[in-house]
Structure 1
Amino acid sequence: MSASLVDISSVSHRFGQHPVLKDVSLKIEPGSYTILLGPSGSGKTTLLSILGGFVTPSEGKVFIRGEDCTAVPPAKRPTTTVFQDYALFPHMSVGANVGFGLRMQGVDAATRAARAREALALVGLATAFDKKPHQLSGGQRQRVALARALVIEPAVLLLDEPLGALDLKLRRQMQDELKAIQKRVGTAFIHVTHDQEEAMALADHCVVMNDGRIEDEGPPERVYARPATRFSATFMGESTILSGTVTEAKNETVTVATPPGAISLPGTSPVGAKIALAIRPEHLVLGATGGTIALGTATVSDVVFQGSFKRVLAASTQDPALQFIVKAPAAATVQPGDTIAVSCNAGDIILLTD
């Protein structure tokens, strides 16, 4: 079929009459860390369930290692799933939990124990073999669930919001550990989350989903810097969106009429086309000395100190409905009530055609 490890081909799914996936096609490469990112109801968890064999799609096919796995049950396909609630057996030791999948495969007790110890060492819990799950912290239980999934050596590891139950500091720590473990074992990870920062920290392949469709996919750097759609620009990080109409188009440059004024930038949209321009917060400049594209003036409504920068909200004086979202330097003296010039550089403006 394909050199891809996973090939999702034209998959659609309905719950009753309600469509939750709409003609989704996606390829997953060996050794990749793929994040399915999107809001609640976007279809990402349903897609993960189809990959794991817990749901059979209404239409389409799922191939894993070139074999049609669309109707293959979870226990017989080369995938394992790590759930948000860990799903550990409380009456079993950690070692027995990790070795449970091997037990179901008929592996003998001595081999199970040896491989369970190896898997626990891989996730930094070599001394936890004889403990019970209730004796471990949330982060440790998460790692036990990961060891249990990895010990059976799946071709694809599926993770359903695995860090959602952890506090912020532990989530950051587990992100680092997940990425390091994935690099060590080389297994393809497919991880569902609605957390954009988590996606950017972990993924080398980011898939942005919305309303049952894939809006955008690619390396997280590209998806963030040059999002393909308006939704992707506003969900994968924040953006200021300028709506406009193309008034001139020649030599692969377009001029767009926007509320703050005319803006020229590279593009090929036809004259009269309604388009949107996106600008990331770190690319907006406050003050008289700024970028090459003037965006008028704005009145500051809110300033929030966030450590390395200040997050500034400011309403355009030309169009009060236009809200600028700015990452200003931490030392900036801007405060609510100030009216200040806003600008950016032409190369930092993203032209969206939807």
Structure 2
Amino acid sequence: MSAPLVDIRNVSHRFGQLAVLKDISLRIEPGSYTILLGPSGSGKTTLLSILGGFVTPSEGKVFIRGADCTSTPPARRPTTTVFQDYALFPHMSVGGNVGFGLRMQGVDGATRAARAREALALVGLGSAFDKKPHQLSGGQRQRVALARALVIEPAVLLLDEPLGALDLKLRRQMQDELKAIQKRVGTAFIHVTHDQEEAMALADHCVVMNDGRIEDEGPPERVYHRPATRFSATFMGESTILAGKVTDARDRTITVTTPVGPVLVPGTLPAGSAIALAIRPEHLILGGAAGTAGLGTAKVSDVVFQGSFKRVLAISAEDPSLQFIAKLQASATVQPGDTVAVSCDTDQIIVLAD
């Protein structure tokens, strides 16, 4: 097994008496696009600041390329950071901004200009060298900040919610461009966001954080389809959660009692285990279907048209505290007030330890 590019070992951090990171260990491979995903206060930005050298952890070590960088200042570690607010110098040209890090390294003017032009061409702004930042759009300024970070050829590029200030259309465009640039340059990107769709669009390594801990990590497809924890199932996309208890286990199938009745799902947990069943919206079937697990009936409370699909909320008749979340085809004719049968393919039900 090859050595990781970044090796975070048992890192904890406190601001005064407040513990914001709690025994974090994480390995990041060369050439990967890692997303640190979590709600506000989960510790993801603090972890990024520790990686960038802006914060020294209270406990633990950070190794980059095998070297202990725990106490190394930002300018002396092989990382650069792209901030949400771009942090461009307004009095400098775009070329001057991009070449600033090289200037601090003592690179001569001609070489600096040539490399800055190359970096701007990489992000699609080859003609902007002589412009000032105020002459560019928000998306263009973001690309300048990215070029400035990449021009010094860091081992790791750190991105602190870099798309948060952009509108939806531009944010999606920049997602495509970021992924394409990362593949071209081969630099490891570590990107902080609270946007689940952004995480799934960009990451090949997704790290879900909550309350200073790592709840789940792995390829985004695995984290979405088979989350490790209840928090991961509800934060990385939506889920309907059924509390349950295993009452029978045989032939690699368990019977789970739930508020909507017994449900048989694949599994090997022993009888008596308290679990939760999570069902993604696209796997819920409203109207019932042969060969699926019945989940009772429900009354549709809301239908929201979202372009390519309809998001449907329905209240369980068996347990009024339970709300089903379904994603149906845009052409579905369901309306608020309809009473419908609810079911799901048992192979799509996620079993979680409660």
Q: Flag whether TM exceeds 0.5 (same fold).
A: yes
- d(CA) in 1 for partners of 2:290 and 2:101? 60
- d(CA) in 2 for partners of 1:62 and 1:128? 37
4+ long deviations beyond 6 Å: none
Matched, 1:18 2:18: yes
Unaligned runs of 5+ in 1: none
Task: Name the residue aligned to 2:58.
Answer: 58
- d(CA) in 2 for partners of 1:253 and 1:48? 42
SS at match of 1:27: strand
- The structural deviation recorded for 1:278 is 0.2
Task: Name the residue aligned to 2:345.
Answer: 345
After superposition, where does 1:89-238 map in structure 2 within 5 Å? 89-238=89-238
Letter in 1 for 2:294: A
- d(CA) in 1 for partners of 2:289 and 2:278? 21
- The structural deviation recorded for 1:269 is 2.0
Matched, 1:295 2:328: no
- d(CA) in 2 for partners of 1:174 and 1:330? 27
In 2 relative to 1, CA 257–309 (structure 1 residues): closer, same or farther, beyond 3 Å?
A: same
Unaligned runs of 5+ in 2: none
SS at match of 2:13: strand
- The structural deviation recorded for 1:274 is 1.2
- d(CA) in 1 for partners of 2:32 and 2:142? 21
SS at match of 1:75: helix
Q: Percent identity?
A: 84
| Deviation digits for residues 225-262 of structure 1 (CA, Å, limit 9, x no counterpart) | 00000000000000000001111123332110001111
- The structural deviation recorded for 1:76 is 0.1
Which has the higher mean CA deviation after the structures are superposed, 265-274 or 309-318?
A: 265-274
After superposition, where does 1:236-315 map in structure 2 within 5 Å? 236-289=236-289, 292-315=292-315
Letter in 2 for 1:245: K
TM-score, length-scaled by structure 1: 0.99
In 2 relative to 1, CA 171–228 (structure 1 residues): closer, same or farther, beyond 3 Å?
A: same
| Deviation digits for residues 205-237 of structure 1 (CA, Å, limit 9, x no counterpart) | 000000000000000000000000000000000
C-alpha contact (below 8 Å) 1:2/1:66 kept by paired residues: no
- d(CA) in 1 for partners of 2:353 and 2:267? 10
Once superposed, what is the RMSD of the aligned Cα atoms? 1.0
C-alpha contact (below 8 Å) 2:312/2:327 kept by paired residues: yes
- The structural deviation recorded for 1:291 is 5.1
SS at match of 1:126: coil
C-alpha contact (below 8 Å) 1:245/1:258 kept by paired residues: yes
After superposition, where does 1:20-99 map in structure 2 within 5 Å? 20-99=20-99
C-alpha contact (below 8 Å) 2:275/2:351 kept by paired residues: yes
SS at match of 2:30: coil
C-alpha contact (below 8 Å) 2:288/2:294 kept by paired residues: no
Which has the higher mean CA deviation after the structures are superposed, 198-207 or 289-298?
A: 289-298
SS at match of 1:215: strand
Letter in 1 for 2:194: H
C-alpha contact (below 8 Å) 1:285/1:291 kept by paired residues: no
C-alpha contact (below 8 Å) 1:290/1:344 kept by paired residues: no
C-alpha contact (below 8 Å) 1:300/1:336 kept by paired residues: yes
SS at match of 1:127: coil
- d(CA) in 1 for partners of 2:334 and 2:343? 15
Letter in 1 for 2:19: P
